[in-house]
Structure formats: C-alpha cells, structure tokens
Structure 1
Amino acid sequence: MDLYWDNFNPAYDARELSLFKAGKTSDPNVKKYQKLLKEANRLIFIFQVWWNDTPAIIKGFIDKVMKKQFAYNVGATGVIGHLKNIQRVEVMTTSTSPTWYLKMFCGSAIFSSIQP
C-alpha cells in the first residue's frame, strides 16, 4: 500500500464519519486496504517522522482502516483482535532530528503508549 500514490485522504468527511460507529466505510481506498490486510501475514510501516511524531496520513490510516468490527471488537474483558493472520508488524522511520535527541527528549512513542 502506498498511501500517497493512492491519494489516500486521512481525514473523515461527513459521510465517512456517519458510518464510523457501525464500523463501515464509504472510502474505496479503505475497502481496498481492508481486503489487503485480511490477506496479509506481515505489515510494514515505513514513514518519516514529522515534528517528532507520526505523520497525519499514518494516523488517518489507522483511524479509518483499523475500524471496530474489522480490526477489533470490545469484549467483556477488553479488546478482541480480528487480524490474527498478521503475524508480524515492523515500523521503520526516518528523521532529520539526531537519534540521540529523539531518544533523550522524545522517547519511544510506541513503547511509551503500551507500557503503564
């Protein structure tokens, strides 16, 4: 998937937002990405770091594609994942900020969000 090549729109329009609660979509790119995700066993994110954060297009991809009822549901004891076919996820990033700066002052956005 190449979000830029596909002209993926990370923002919700009114129609798409009205379908959010039901876990549905009107975006053809989202439908295409969901089909690809159902068939994948590995997911690799490659993106540049903008202002020490994930780009909006990646955040929009996660918000619009990894929908409730598609990627997960909420059960009595917590989140139930549906994409069990994906065995591995890798994240590769680039940045113009020096690595020492990112480690010392920004930390790991991935690990800090999953650790208590």
Structure 2
Amino acid sequence: MKHLVVVAHPAEDSFTLGLVRTYTDELERLGHTQRTCDLYRVGFNPALSAHELMPVSAGHPACADVAQAQDEIRAADVLTVFYPLWWMSMPAMMKGYVDRVFARGFAYESSQGIVHGLLGGKKALMVTCSGAPLPLLVKSGNWNAVQVLQDTHVFRSAGFELIEHLHFDEIVPSLPEAVAAQHMERIRACARQHF
C-alpha cells in the first residue's frame, strides 16, 4: 500500500515526530511505501487566500503547493495525520493544510447544506497527543467534541474510512523513557494491526 503521512509539530525532536519516525519505519519494514510531509519542515503556508475560495477550474488552477498536496493524497491508499491537540484542536499548521488542501471539488461537494465526500476508497488514521489524561477529556466532554469535529466533520465528511484515532495522553516534557518506549511499541502495533 501507498501511505501519505502528514505531521504538524514545530519541534523536530518532539515526541510527535518520534512517533512518526517509528510508524514510518514499521510501515517500510512491513513492505509498504510511504511519503512523509512534515508541514513545518517544508514551510507549508497554512493561510487560505481569497483566491483559493474560488472553485478550481482550467482558468483558475489550484496553487502549486496545494495541487502537489492533492496529488499526494490522490496517489495514496492511506492518509495518516499526526499532531498534538492544542486547545483541543489541531495546530494552525494542520488546520491550514485541511483548509487549503481539502478544498471543495477535491475533498467534498455540498448541496443544500449536505456534504458529499469525494475521497471515498481511501483510509485515514489519526494520531494525536495531549498533556491531559484521556479519562479527564472524556469526562469533561472535550473528547466527544474532538471526535465530532475532527474525526467526523473533517475526515469522514471528506469520504475517508477512518480506521482509528489513536491518542497518546499525558505527554509531558518529563515523560519517562520507559513510558515513551511503550508508546513507540503502540504505534508499531497499530501499523501491524491495520496494514
């Protein structure tokens, strides 16, 4: 299978980027091909312009970086996204990627308020991290909000089959090495389970 891995974290030595490296190494060990798009390292521009609100047409092509990102999604069987939850949402860099790349006519169409996803036949996997414990997020209702907005409204609405939303909680700067190692095994196991 062909995998596109998109990650948004500003620190190259972050736990999130460590998960990405472990996951992609496991995919390759399993015989899959993957391309990683590290939004911060490639300098992706997350700002949606007024020009991009216009429908894409022969006389109004997509911006080059968006067209390339859309081609990468078209070529992939699986899209995996990695990002930390900040204020219970994706970082601005990832939100900008979604705003610009998951455009009308590419990721969805809508009529009379009903959205029809155009990326059916593709799988998606979400991997998120938070400092807060997951049981606290569930109890407060915040986790439900994440699932409705990000899992359902973004990825499922675009037509993806969301195969899992894997969340790593209590990720703090002083994370013990043994706990980090257990998490790295979880991400390897996730790759083996699904692919």
Q: TM-score, normalised by structure 1?
A: 0.79
- The alignment of Structure 1 onto Structure 2 pairs a total of residues equal to 110
Alpha-carbon distance, 1:56 to partner: 1.0
Shift of 1:74: 2.3
The 1-side partners of 2:66 and 2:52 are apart by 13
The 1:97/1:110 distance shift into structure 2, 3 A limit, reads closer
Q: Which residue of the other structure, out of 60, 74, 79, is the alignment partner of 2:115? A: 79
Q: Which residue of 2 aligns with 1:25?
A: 62
Q: 2:124 aligns with which of 86, 89, 92?
A: 89
Unaligned runs of at least 5 residues, structure 2: 1-36, 154-195
- Provide Cα deviations, 1:74-107, integer angstroms capped at 9, x if missing partner: 2479333222341x11111111112222222212
Query: Per-residue deviation at 1:35?
Result: 0.5
- Distance change (3 Å), C-alpha of 1:112 and 1:4: same
Which is further off, 71-80 or 104-113?
71-80
- Quick check: 1:38–1:85 contact (8 Å CA) kept in 2? no
The two structures have a TM-score, normalised by structure 2, of: 0.50
Which residue of the other structure, out of 38, 46, 71, is the alignment partner of 2:74?
A: 38
Partners in 2 of 1:19 and 1:94 — Cα distance? 30
Query: What displacement does 1:48 show?
Result: 0.8
How many percent identity over aligned positions? 27
Contact 2:46–2:100 (Cα < 8 Å) also in 1: yes
Spell out the pairing of 1:49-68 with structure 2 (5 A cutoff). Answer: 49-68=85-104
Q: Which residue of 1 aligns with 2:160?
A: none
Shift of the 111–29 alpha-carbon distance from structure 1 to 2, 3 Å rule, reads same
Is 1:98 the counterpart of 2:133 in the alignment? yes
d(CA) in 2 for partners of 1:55 and 1:42? 21
